[in-house]
Amino acid sequence: MKTLDLFTSELKVINVGLTSFKESLEQEGFKVVQVDWRPPAGGDEEAMEALRKLIGK
């Protein structure tokens, strides 16, 4: 695919973030998939370190 093809092809979006961004795109007629992603252990560094030790990384 060439860069210019991006401006003429159908836009399909995977949104990882604000639901309002997804809703805005849907209102404009775009196909959007919302991903409910969160950092492991809620971003708590101590909890993430404990998880790393448990899985051996």
Residue type, 22: K
pTM exceeds 0.75: no
Q: Which residues of 23-51 are buried (b: 16+ CB within 10 A; e: fewer)?
A: eeeeeeeeebebeeeeeeeeeeeeeeeee
Evaluate if residue 1 carries a pLDDT over 80.
no
User: Each residue of 12-37: pLDDT tens digit?
Assistant: 899 998 999 999 999 999 999 999 98
Range of the domain at 17: 3-55
- As for how many domains the chain has, the answer is 1
pLDDT value of position 27? 96
DSSP secondary structure string for all residues of 5-52: GGGTSPPEEEE-S-HHHHHHHHHTT-EEEE-----GGGG-HHHHHHHH
pLDDT value of position 4? 84
User: Each residue of 38-52: pLDDT tens digit?
Assistant: 888 888 999 989 988
